[in-house]
A and B are shown apart, each in its own frame.
Chain A
């Protein structure tokens, strides 16, 4: 790449800085609110700096044993769910990316059709219930295992791998499985990393399946517990006298909850970033 800096670079950097400010300010605002006192926030005193700093909101959130337990649950569900999703999606995308897969168009349609037509909540519940998966971890990781959106993206990337590589693998005596494992996947690390990210985050943020399929409070993931806390300020059936009492802390707690929920996910990205390496394919073609 050229090393000459032009005015364009300057503008680009300026743009990025602007973007950072616009993105960060709301997050900064949430941060200072979460460490200010409820009273100060309620009085509208917190705008640019925190006031009456305390960690009460975080304490309130983390003291709840349900929060800690659900944190653990979510980590478990995310790990398991992501793994299952990656495996199933790959097993779906790879065959559909191979030109000689007989019936490819038909199967593609079969899969894509489900993106548009859905039985709905009730029928799906009945299927899950019928399979005995209600109130188990499986209801959270299997019914939503394959996202057709993700699968199509994966397939698109797989299709871009030159046929020459497949042929040389076949010549070397490799079957489809080995080709997939030893050639296609290693070459597709950027998309695999992306899919990992998409599925992991999707699973981390998901709350609706857990809400519907789980009855045991001990199995609840983080989002259910946290969502309830966040929405309490706007709860529809605020009872007469009570609605008043917990009022003051609600905004600070809401934002403390936000940070508690997103912290681990923020850590995943830098970890995944290193797979976004250019020229991954280059070596194999030459070699």
Chain B
């Protein structure tokens, strides 16, 4: 009996101390004070609940400088609700589906397409005439027209005023080329020869590494830039198995073209001779970086921004190691083109709840966010406190540089406290604060990329045109079937020897049978409507 009673006692004591410990810890981190509700704002001030996702690199601070400035200058109190990005979709969909969204919430274009007809979002079209700043943005960024649903606009998209241009550009270890006395390859065929030489010198290596990224699988992320470079293409940015071809100005189905088949054959050659990462189908960003950092791989055709990261890491051990951009490679029929990322983030928009109390006031505030003052506060900080503009050039103040230079990633630490940036409060985003933290190489690469866009070598990813209800129903069915079929079958053309000769034709037949033509028609019809 006694034994059991002491059992209870220790159990109870433990539980009690748990409670106390928990309460203490919970309290000690709580310096922010969260009595947010009605009474927080001063007289006449508008209080808005504002929800967006939080990227782990840039914590969203409730009372960042931007929030305070917004309250000061616009008399608007932002009640920030940040949700971890990893599960933002679940939360967002639950709130939308139960009609309990906050006043302003960041959503994807897909969500707008799916739910605009439910009346949960405020229709912004009637207010556009009273928004001078936003109208200017519309003029400067005509692609926003893809966001209109049946002629109505429901979301304020995230647009970019200035940003570094990055893309899926060929990046190679220049030092290895020099060491092996190889010249810079100019065509994909020469690239293949280069890989062979690299492999001879380093038998344990797999010169070409790729990864899954940006919502696309490893396979999709590998085939996209290569197929595009060969004159074809594979998927859109959300994984639909059609692509927009700037040459024909319409959506095309990759596998129908010979260039695509050639691209697959090239990849098959690489894989068979062990020049391509053998695990590319399940390669993650992490394993990909490890290969490129450790000299297991020497080439990638993916976000060139990583070149800078890799150089920094490798040079800690080997000061000679260096990734550099090489000029666009020519495909077998002379095509010379690369895919680069869009600067805007038009697939992400802030929508306003249709239940909001003072729509005109909210609209006026958002228009301010797109104007010069709003843009600067939410992108750069406060002038003369955080930055200065000298001779038209942007410079961070001394004290700002010093404040953050010891953090693991100074740029994000700064943006977190200021509340600025694409991952912060900006709707019209100016990324000049990133410049002081970038290496010369990064800047040079960005400039080259921009130049190539103008010269018609680099092409930006585009977003889907808007679809109507019937099209969306059909797309759902088509895509689930067709996508699954293509996804489960495409890899064998890269991995298996001889699959291209024997099975390609029937593969294309089956794609056709499963509705590839209909998919194309839907996309092209929708495209025609916005042009």
A residues sitting closer than 8 Å to B (CB atoms) are: 38-39, 41-45, 56, 60, 64-66, 68-80, 83, 121-122, 125-126, 129, 134, 186, 189, 207-208, 211-212, 215-218, 224-225, 227-229, 231-251, 271, 275
A83 cross-chain contacts in B, Cβ below 8 A: 15
Q: How many A-B residue pairs have CB under 8 A?
A: 205
In the bound complex, what is the Cα–Cα distance between A229 and B305 (angstroms)? 21
Judged by a CB distance under 8 angstroms, whether B501 is at the interface is: no
In the bound complex, what is the Cα–Cα distance between A217 and B312 (angstroms)? 35
B211 to chain A, nearest CB (A): 10
Query: B57–A275 contact, CB under 8 A?
Result: no
Judged by a CB distance under 8 angstroms, whether B286 is at the interface is: yes
Judged by a CB distance under 8 angstroms, whether B528 is at the interface is: no
Query: A227–B86 contact, CB under 8 A?
Result: yes
Query: B290–A232 contact, CB under 8 A?
Result: no
In the bound complex, what is the Cα–Cα distance between A231 and B51 (angstroms)? 20
Query: B314–A69 contact, CB under 8 A?
Result: no
B residues sitting closer than 8 Å to A (CB atoms) are: 4, 7, 14-15, 18-19, 21-32, 34, 51, 54-57, 59-60, 62, 80-87, 90-91, 94, 97-98, 100, 102, 163-167, 212-215, 284-286, 289-291, 293-296, 303, 305-306, 308-309, 312-314, 316-317, 341, 343, 345, 408-409, 411-412, 422-423, 431, 434, 442, 446
Query: A73–B313 contact, CB under 8 A?
Result: no
Partner of B81, one of A66, A207, A217, A275: A217
Partner of A217, one of B82, B167, B285: B82
A134 cross-chain contacts in B, Cβ below 8 A: 100
Query: B303–A243 contact, CB under 8 A?
Result: yes
Question: Known: A76-B19, A122-B97, A129-B100. Contact between A69 and B30, CB under 8 A?
Answer: yes
Question: Known: A76-B19, A76-B23. Contact between A234 and B290, CB under 8 A?
Answer: no
Query: A227–B84 contact, CB under 8 A?
Result: yes
In the bound complex, what is the Cα–Cα distance between A166 and B446 (angstroms)? 80
B487 to chain A, nearest CB (A): 17
In the bound complex, what is the Cα–Cα distance between A275 and B11 (angstroms)? 11
In the bound complex, what is the Cα–Cα distance between A233 and B213 (angstroms)? 10
Query: A234–B284 contact, CB under 8 A?
Result: yes
A241 to chain B, nearest CB (A): 5
**Chain A binding surface, main DSSP class:** helix
A239 cross-chain contacts in B, Cβ below 8 A: 345, 422-423
Q: Which residue of B lies closest to A72 (CB)?
A: B25
Q: Which residue of A lies closest to B345 (CB)?
A: A239
B109 to chain A, nearest CB (A): 13
Partner of B341, one of A56, A231, A240, A247: A240
Q: Which residue of A lies closest to B307 (CB)?
A: A244
Query: A238–B285 contact, CB under 8 A?
Result: yes
B103 to chain A, nearest CB (A): 12
A217 cross-chain contacts in B, Cβ below 8 A: 60, 62, 80-82
Query: A75–B25 contact, CB under 8 A?
Result: yes
Partner of B4, one of A70, A79, A186, A225: A186
Query: A229–B164 contact, CB under 8 A?
Result: no
In the bound complex, what is the Cα–Cα distance between A271 and B17 (angstroms)? 14
Partner of A39, one of B164, B316, B431: B316
In the bound complex, what is the Cα–Cα distance between A71 and B25 (angstroms)? 7
In the bound complex, what is the Cα–Cα distance between A38 and B313 (angstroms)? 9
Q: Which residue of B lies closest to A250 (CB)?
A: B286
Query: B214–A237 contact, CB under 8 A?
Result: yes
Query: A237–B215 contact, CB under 8 A?
Result: yes
A240 to chain B, nearest CB (A): 4
Q: Which residue of A lies closest to B411 (CB)?
A: A245
Partner of A72, one of B4, B29, B80, B408: B29
Partner of B98, one of A64, A122, A229, A237: A122
Query: A248–B313 contact, CB under 8 A?
Result: yes
In the bound complex, what is the Cα–Cα distance between A186 and B341 (angstroms)? 65
Query: A237–B309 contact, CB under 8 A?
Result: no
Question: Known: A43-B294, A233-B286. Contact between A240 and B28, CB under 8 A?
Answer: no
Partner of B25, one of A43, A68, A238: A68
In the bound complex, what is the Cα–Cα distance between A44 and B290 (angstroms)? 6
Query: B296–A44 contact, CB under 8 A?
Result: yes
B59 cross-chain contacts in A, Cβ below 8 A: 64, 66
Q: Can you sample 26 A-B contacts with CB below 8 Å?
A: A38-B313, A39-B313, A42-B293, A43-B317, A44-B291, A45-B294, A66-B59, A69-B30, A72-B25, A74-B22, A75-B22, A75-B25, A211-B83, A211-B84, A212-B90, A215-B81, A217-B80, A227-B84, A238-B214, A239-B423, A243-B213, A243-B305, A244-B309, A247-B309, A249-B408, A271-B14
Q: Which residue of A lies closest to B51 (CB)?
A: A215
* Residue of A44, A73, A228 contacting most chain B CB atoms (<10 Å): A228
B208 to chain A, nearest CB (A): 17
A76 cross-chain contacts in B, Cβ below 8 A: 19, 22-23, 26
Query: B22–A212 contact, CB under 8 A?
Result: no
B305 cross-chain contacts in A, Cβ below 8 A: 240-245
A70 cross-chain contacts in B, Cβ below 8 A: 29
Query: B22–A44 contact, CB under 8 A?
Result: no
Question: Known: A75-B18, A245-B411. Contact between A126 and B98, CB under 8 A?
Answer: yes
Query: B293–A44 contact, CB under 8 A?
Result: yes
In the bound complex, what is the Cα–Cα distance between A227 and B90 (angstroms)? 14
Query: B85–A243 contact, CB under 8 A?
Result: no
